[in-house]
Amino acid sequence: MAKTKVSPKATSSLGPNEVRKMYRNMLLARTIDERMWTLNRAGKAPFVIPCRGQEAAQVGWAAGLRPTDYFLPYYRDIGVMVTLGYTARQAFLSLLGKAEDVTSGGRQMPGHYGWRERHVITGSSPVTTQVLHAVGIAYASQLRGEDTVSAASLGEGSTSQGDFHEALNWASIYKLPVLFVVENNGYAISSPQSKEMAVQDTAERALGYGMAGVTVDGTDFFASYEATVQAAERARRGDGPTLLEFKMYRLLPHSSDDDDRTYRSREEVDAWKDRDPIQRMQNHVLEAGIMTAEEVDALRVEVQAEVDDAIAYAEAAPYPPVEDMFTHVYAD
Amino acid sequence: MAKTKVSPKATSSLGPNEVRKMYRNMLLARTIDERMWTLNRAGKAPFVIPCRGQEAAQVGWAAGLRPTDYFLPYYRDIGVMVTLGYTARQAFLSLLGKAEDVTSGGRQMPGHYGWRERHVITGSSPVTTQVLHAVGIAYASQLRGEDTVSAASLGEGSTSQGDFHEALNWASIYKLPVLFVVENNGYAISSPQSKEMAVQDTAERALGYGMAGVTVDGTDFFASYEATVQAAERARRGDGPTLLEFKMYRLLPHSSDDDDRTYRSREEVDAWKDRDPIQRMQNHVLEAGIMTAEEVDALRVEVQAEVDDAIAYAEAAPYPPVEDMFTHVYAD
Amino acid sequence: MAVKNLIDGIREAMHEEMARDERVVLLGEDVGKRGGVFRASEGLVDAYGDKRVIDAPLGESGIVGVAIGMALNGLVPIAEIQFADFIHPAFNQIVSEAAKIRYRSDNDFHVPMVIRAPFGGGVHGGLYHSQSVEAFFMHVPGLKVVIPSTPADAKGLLKAAIRDEDPVLFFEHKRSYRLVRGEVPDGDVTVPIGKARMVREGKDLSIFAYGLMALYAEQAADTLAKEGISAEVIDLRTLLPLDREAILASVARTHRALIVHEANYTMGAGAEVAATIAEGALYELDAPIRRLAGPDIPAMPFNTPQEEHFMPNPEKIAQAARELLAL
Amino acid sequence: MAVKNLIDGIREAMHEEMARDERVVLLGEDVGKRGGVFRASEGLVDAYGDKRVIDAPLGESGIVGVAIGMALNGLVPIAEIQFADFIHPAFNQIVSEAAKIRYRSDNDFHVPMVIRAPFGGGVHGGLYHSQSVEAFFMHVPGLKVVIPSTPADAKGLLKAAIRDEDPVLFFEHKRSYRLVRGEVPDGDVTVPIGKARMVREGKDLSIFAYGLMALYAEQAADTLAKEGISAEVIDLRTLLPLDREAILASVARTHRALIVHEANYTMGAGAEVAATIAEGALYELDAPIRRLAGPDIPAMPFNTPQEEHFMPNPEKIAQAARELLAL
Ligand SMILES: Cc1ncc(C[n+]2csc(CCOP(=O)(O)OP(=O)(O)O)c2C)c(N)n1
Ligand SMILES: Cc1ncc(C[n+]2csc(CCOP(=O)(O)OP(=O)(O)O)c2C)c(N)n1
Ligand SMILES: [Mg+2]
Ligand SMILES: [Mg+2]
């Protein structure tokens, strides 16, 4: 199968209500992200890992799948989580390591998702391990003849890991219903893509496996959504895995511990702000007449209020009791 | 760079004396292999790993490089070693784990090559680790501005390992002077190629790295030799690495511990005997008038005598003293 | 009860568990038609098909990582690593992933799976087909580490491992596969993980061992008995969680401890056993603890005399016991 | 002598060695322009260029495997692993390759190289940015394992590691990077690998520790001194080869041993230290050995109270010492 590019049109399959919902998801992800940084800079949250610039792709690929599918998001995927129903409260409970944190009960750093009820598989920090889990999950689905798909996301830099190769190899040999979602934001911390691979498009990595590889404009929600829907259909039809590459830009430093001024120019960063996915989506809902300017403003206020409430709630919430740290090493 | 196929002609660059020498190398490798099995079946050698069917490619790729280059052969590469000057005595000293064994002083199992004087880098059993070493070696050569090439060989099954991916990725990013030599004999122990990858040619694996990939008839010495010379030239010119795939067939079981009747038919094996590389090379030297039938017979006798002597020598040779096992854990 | 080889116990356990529970699958290099390079899975692909007995592409991180995914989605995988020496590429998937999934998800997820691997030397395997790797995994809470020494335990413990809700590393001494014979109870008998086995009671010293060394310790105890020395032999069987109670109770009876393993001396399982005694039964000891182990060299050499010198054996164990009693 | 941070010692050592010997190169994720995520290599790429200070593609097996190749071809690589928790993908290259190359080639080849990694907790790093992984490598003959606890040792030991002819794993406690300050001798001073450091002499008990815990042990000893308890503190510094002589000599003086580490209790370095004493100085002991260590849970939780509870600290060390003396 050859590498193809999907062009960013085909908004047709989603109705206006759904589009509004997607825009809200993107806005909520962005607002959570912004306020996490504020908390960090105020000394109230030890660590933040941003999603800024990647919301269109994240909401797009999550929305392109079914709730019965399996999701293995990586640490930036606030947009994926929000699309799956993760609330602002949940996000801030996790940020602060509180007992009620749905991802890990306060055990893991923020950004390490997992939510059994919503088919979000628990993730770790060492990058790229999850792509093999997605393959094993897909194998089990295929064995039982189910039509579920599993999807693992990772950064473009993480495709350099050995596990990436082993995962794509297994998936292509067994034609498994799995999507490898590369959120290509141009950098692995300070390392530009050119230091991670010799090819222009990460999707070219699919060629060595005889697998479909697709490069998508990841600042465009609709392109991201449609490419995912198509890849998932292929997978459900038994036509095997797809490597989906969403191209975009990491608008912020790698994390709250990083200072990106050491390795990239402000001009480069500013240039990408013109393609801010939130702005693009806002333009679309306004131009397409899906929302009025007043409705957009009201939505912003609503989302801000949700996040305000979430922060207050999370700050007041208790930590897990110390003795709980000894539980769940093994089955009881 | 696209994947290309090299056609098996171009015998011109080697003179008759050299061709005779190459034929002798192949014959010596084969004869060593045959007699190792006899020793094993007689209970005198615990373990044999055969090269049978792969001699043309092995002698071809080794001869296509310079003595100043670096060699990282894998366990089947008797033909490579013989081409680099490894004698029958050395082969049998290693087989029996005798003190004089040049590869490891009797420490390693047979087939784990290493010979500092001839630029053969010490190898281990876990497959595919050596490809990363070849990359690091090439990096050092490039850093110092030397025109040496390093070449690591491995089986097609071993290309499924994560280290293979990481090695090709590094090599292509830095355009390193390194050759990845895949001796594709159709099986990884019992696993046919179709269970190791979804592509037809292992050389296709090069595509995901923007690297040259070449598929060669590995039963043809001349094709193997020429493809290597060309790839090495590219590397020395600064045009980067090449994935060289030699296609052939493992005529024997995986090792003396294996029984291939459990997983492949005798018809399949027999069909490949028609393309026995030794036979092909013999036909060539006869047809091209490089040797007469009498000379071929005399060569056979000579090689048998060399191996007879080697076995007698190795059997009589002493084991290393027990106390030596405690040396060389660290520098003294 | 029929007398069988240790490897028969392994095969039977897999056979019965795959018949009993269709969630159980086996994956690994050459486990299908070839039946595994040691023939542990012979016949399984014929019985259960190549969707449940899976010839994996060559790559241990892939095998374990895919197995984790299977376990996360309702299967119970048995991942075979062809030789324990080749488990290292999967170290990250085992230590960072399998071991921590239950804990990190606050019990939301867990991975019931077994990783089987033949280990140990004495088979002319040289540096890379002889290693003992169990000690690495004893430092990883969330894993269990099991090593059987008899055919009955091989079967019973493997069945228990397959039914366990957590990842179990199951190491089988390859030299014992066909060397060790014994009675194997018929039917569905499991042996509990986490309990040491009293091989033979004694009063002059305790010998702690596992795998092939448990057999050798038993043979050493026979020799010692003829000399009037009464050695207690404890087969640890599970190294994680370690049966500290059994260790301390034995030392309280005999007042002398000898620990035997083939793995390198430094930081082998003997370190933890010795530390356990030094913390928990120090006042019981009448003599220093003694560890008899593989020497601190990178791995076992191939050539016959050096390989023999590396391996502990019944005579070396008996000699170490005599020396310990002379202190 | 100037007073510096521990991380300054690291950076200076690399700087000086790269200036002294052009064979020395540094490779790792973000070690170039970014200067490493902790800034250990800040300024190096400007001084030595991006051919010698190499931003590696993301993959630890690649980093270590390529470094081995470099070492085989005349370079002296320093491979940085961004966090010790991420060393596991490189386990095979370290254990099967780096550790065994000299031995398996009968001294024909060797790999002079250093693998540096920040380890340890107390920085809100959660499960995967807090781990202590040193114990795994103590079981691997052919490797050396070094952990400095002061800026002077950081510099002197790292210089020694870079000049060592064998692979050295060099773990730096990340919390100590900017917390621990001390005098660093100017000029070309190395500190020998393999020798423990007497931090403070004492007569009532010996506390063995390393890394941040050596500092905490020293602070605990200050507290204990005020109570009239004289604690000897030994900074092990090198875990492999372990300075068994220094351990045994100390126990012969104090007759009581407390071992402290942050790594999980079971099969942590404390196991080998305890076993060493139980074998070599049993008759010297007036009380059971005590190990104070991270609990046997998969790794350190992120939330503040549980993280604090996981970490040993000066007060816990002092309390363990008091208990040991009460026995
Ligand atoms: C195995 C491993 N090595 C190193 C790291 C440290 N690390 C965290 S994120 C990161 C860069 C990842 O880049 P990319 O895959 O492009 O994802 P992005 O952060 O850009 O979204 C690195 C090196 C890690 N988490 N895991
Ligand atoms: C890491 C690792 N896993 C498993 C093995 C066991 N093993 C030895 S050779 C082999 C098959 C290799 O097949 P291929 O790469 O095609 O080479 P061939 O033997 O066919 O020449 C396997 C699985 C090994 N040596 N190393
Ligand atoms: Mg990125
Ligand atoms: Mg093969």
Would residue A323 count as lying in a domain? no
- Choose the final residue of a domain: C138, C161, C184: C184
Is the distance from CB of D279 to CB of C320 less than 8 angstroms?
no
Got the DSSP string for B151-215?
A: EEEEESGGGGSHHHHHHHHHHHHTT-SEEEEEEE-SEETTEEGGGT-SSS-GGGGGGGGT-EEEE
CA dihedral B289, B293, B299, B300 (to 10 degrees): 140
pLDDT at B1 over 70: no
B64 C-alpha to ligand 1 centroid (Å): 40
Min distance C285 CA to chain A CA atoms (Å): 32
Q: Which ligand is nearest to the CA of A160?
A: 1
What subunits make at least 3 CB pairs under 8 angstroms with A? B, C, D
Least confident among A2-6, B231-235, C241-245: A2-6
Q: Which atom of ligand 2 is nearest to the CA of B125?
A: 25
Dihedral (CA of C217, C222, C224, C229) sign: positive
Q: Is any atom of ligand 1 closer than 6 Å to the C-beta of A125?
A: yes
Would residue B175 count as lying in a domain? yes
Active-site residue among D129, D139, D255, D261? Answer: D129
Q: Does B264 touch chain A (CB under 8 A)?
A: no
Got the DSSP string for B114-131?
A: -BGGGTB----SSTTHHH
pLDDT at A5 over 70: no
Chain A partners within 8 Å of C240 (Cβ): none
Would residue B12 count as lying in a domain? yes
Would residue C192 count as lying in a domain? no
Contact D279 C274 (CB under 8 A): yes
Which value, in Å, is the radius of gyration of the alpha carbons in chain B? 19
Each residue's pLDDT tens digit, B147-166: 999 999 999 999 999 999 99
A139 C-alpha to ligand 3 centroid (Å): 28
Distance CA A304, CA A41 (A): 18
Tell me which residue has tokens 């691979």: A197
Distance CA B149, CA B171 (A): 12
pLDDT at B7 over 60: no
Ligand 1, atom 24: closest residue by C-alpha: A126
Would residue A326 count as lying in a domain? no
Q: How many CB atoms lie under 10 A from the CB of residue B85? A: 13
Q: Is any atom of ligand 1 closer than 6 Å to the C-beta of D278?
A: no
Tokens describing residue C29: 């290099």
Q: Which residues pair with C261 in a beta bridge?
A: C293
The partner residue sitting opposite D288, judged by closest CB among C104, C263, C282, is: C282
CATH code of the domain covering residue B265 = 3.40.50.970
Same domain, D173 and D64: yes
Would residue D52 count as lying in a domain? yes
Q: Identify the CA nearest to D318 among candidates D212, D235, D228, D183.
A: D228
Is the distance from CB of C247 to CB of C279 less than 8 angstroms?
no
Q: How many CB atoms lie under 10 A from the CB of residue A279? A: 12
Is the distance from CB of B228 to CB of B67 less than 8 angstroms?
no
Please enumerate in sequence order all residues whose Cβ is within 8 A of that of B323, keeping only pairs 6 or more positions apart, or say none.
Answer: none
Please enumerate in sequence order all residues whose Cβ is within 8 A of that of A153, keeping only pairs 6 or more positions apart, or say none.
Answer: A58, A61, A72, A73, A74, A77, A80, A181, A182, A183
Would residue C191 count as lying in a domain? no
First to last CA, chain A: 48
Q: Does B132 touch chain A (CB under 8 A)?
A: no
Least confident among B5-19, C225-239, D141-155: B5-19
Chain B partners within 8 Å of D65 (Cβ): 129, 131-133, 135-136, 163, 166-167
Would residue D189 count as lying in a domain? no
Would residue B95 count as lying in a domain? yes
**pLDDT of chain D, 327 residues: tens digit per residue:** 899 999 999 999 999 999 999 999 999 999 999 999 999 999 999 999 999 999 999 999 999 999 999 999 999 999 999 999 999 999 999 999 999 999 999 999 999 999 999 999 999 999 999 999 999 999 999 999 999 999 999 999 999 999 999 999 999 999 999 999 999 999 899 999 999 999 999 999 999 999 999 999 999 999 999 999 999 999 999 999 999 999 999 999 999 999 999 999 999 999 999 999 999 999 999 999 999 999 999 999 999 999 999 999 999 999 999 999 998
Q: How many domains does chain C contain in total?
A: 2
Active-site residue among C129, C173, C255, C261? Answer: C129
What subunits make at least 3 CB pairs under 8 angstroms with B? A, C, D
Distance CA D119, CA D149 (A): 12
Q: Which atom of ligand 1 is nearest to the CA of D30?
A: 23
Nearest CA in chain B to C60: B161
Ligand 1, atom 1: closest residue by C-alpha: A126
Would residue C190 count as lying in a domain? no
pLDDT at A262 over 60: yes
D29 C-alpha to ligand 1 centroid (Å): 9
Chain A partners within 8 Å of D309 (Cβ): 322, 325
Same domain, D227 and D260: yes
Q: Which amino acid appears at position A298 of this protein?
A: A
The partner residue sitting opposite A329, judged by closest CB among C69, C71, C142, is: C142
Same domain, D134 and D108: yes
Same domain, D8 and D123: yes
The answer to whether the predicted template modeling score (pTM) of the entire model surpasses 0.95 is: yes
Residue A17, burial from CB neighbour count under 10 angstroms (0-12, 13-18, 19+) = exposed
Contacts C–D by Cβ distance under 8 A = 143
Q: Does D29 touch chain A (CB under 8 A)?
A: yes
What percentage of residues in chain D have a pLDDT greater than 70? 100
Q: b/e for B238-272, b at 16 or more Cβ within 10 A?
A: eebbbbbbbbbbbbbbbbbebebeebbeeeebeeb
Same domain, D53 and D166: yes
Residue D58: give the domain boundaries: 2-184
Nearest CA in chain A to D35: A262
The partner residue sitting opposite B173, judged by closest CB among A165, A197, A205, is: A197
pLDDT at A7 over 90: no
Q: Is A302 helix (H, G, I), strand (E, B) or coil?
A: helix
The partner residue sitting opposite B136, judged by closest CB among D57, D67, D105, is: D67
C212-226 vs C314-326: helix axis angle to the nearest 10?
60
Please enumerate in sequence order all residues whose Cβ is within 8 A of that of B87, keeping only pairs 6 or more positions apart, or say none.
Answer: B306, B310
Ligand 1, atom 13: closest residue by C-alpha: A188
Ligand 2, atom 2: closest residue by C-alpha: B126
Would residue C209 count as lying in a domain? yes
Output the ligand 2 site: residues, CB below 6 A: B 76, 125-127, 154-158, 183, 185, 187-189, 250, 254; C 29, 58, 60, 82, 86, 89
Ligand 2, atom 18: closest residue by C-alpha: B155
Contact A208 B209 (CB under 8 A): yes
Chain D partners within 8 Å of C103 (Cβ): 127, 297-299
The partner residue sitting opposite D91, judged by closest CB among C91, C100, C141, is: C91
CA–chain centroid gap for C148, Å, is 5
Would residue B324 count as lying in a domain? no
Interface confidence, given as ipTM, is 0.98
Same domain, D29 and D151: yes
Q: How many CB atoms lie under 10 A from the CB of residue B316? A: 8
Per DSSP, chain A holds a count of helices (H) and strands (E) of: 10, 8
Omega before D151 cis (within 30°)?
no
What percentage of residues in chain C have a pLDDT greater than 70? 100
Min distance D282 CA to chain B CA atoms (Å): 28
Each residue's pLDDT tens digit, B97-140: 999 999 999 999 999 999 999 999 999 999 999 999 999 999 99
- Choose the final residue of a domain: C157, C184, C211: C184
The partner residue sitting opposite A170, judged by closest CB among C62, C74, C77, is: C62
CATH code of the domain covering residue C23 = 3.40.50.970
Contact A204 B205 (CB under 8 A): no
Would residue B318 count as lying in a domain? no
CATH code of the domain covering residue C270 = 3.40.50.920
Would residue C231 count as lying in a domain? yes
Distance CA B45, CA A95 (A): 63
Chain B partners within 8 Å of D101 (Cβ): 122
Tokens describing residue A126: 């060492």
Q: Is D129 a catalytic residue?
A: yes
Q: Report the residue among D27, D29, D58 best suited for mutation to probe ligand 1: largest number of ligand atoms under 8 A from its CB.
A: D58
Residue B90: give the domain boundaries: 3-312
Distance CA C133, CA C261 (A): 11
Contact D266 C290 (CB under 8 A): no
Q: Which ligand is nearest to the CA of B54?
A: 2
- Choose the final residue of a domain: D155, D184, D213: D184
pLDDT at B75 over 70: yes
Each residue's pLDDT tens digit, A137-192: 999 999 999 999 999 999 999 999 999 999 999 999 999 999 999 999 999 999 99
Tell me which residue has tokens 């996790």: A94
B129-143 vs B162-173: helix axis angle to the nearest 10?
20
The helix (run of H) or strand (run of E) holding residue B24 is helix B16-41
Mean pLDDT score, A253-280: 96
Min distance C207 CA to chain A CA atoms (Å): 29
Q: Pairing relation of β-strands B212-217 and C144-146?
A: unpaired
Q: Does D22 touch chain B (CB under 8 A)?
A: no
Same domain, C134 and C55: yes
Q: Is any atom of ligand 1 closer than 6 Å to the C-beta of A158?
A: yes
Would residue A327 count as lying in a domain? no
Q: Identify the CA nearest to C277 among candidates C267, C265, C287, C268.
A: C287
Same domain, C96 and C55: yes
Q: Pairing relation of β-strands C24-28 and C53-55?
A: parallel
Chain D partners within 8 Å of A321 (Cβ): 305
Q: How many domains does chain B contain in total?
A: 1
Would residue D190 count as lying in a domain? no
Tell me which residue has tokens 């386990």: D91
Chain B partners within 8 Å of C126 (Cβ): 107-109, 112, 125
Q: Which residues pair with D181 in a beta bridge?
A: D5
**Residue D235, CB-side half-sphere exposure with 13 Å CA sphere:** 24
Determine the pLDDT at residue B9: 52
A184 C-alpha to ligand 3 centroid (Å): 5
Same domain, C175 and C226: no
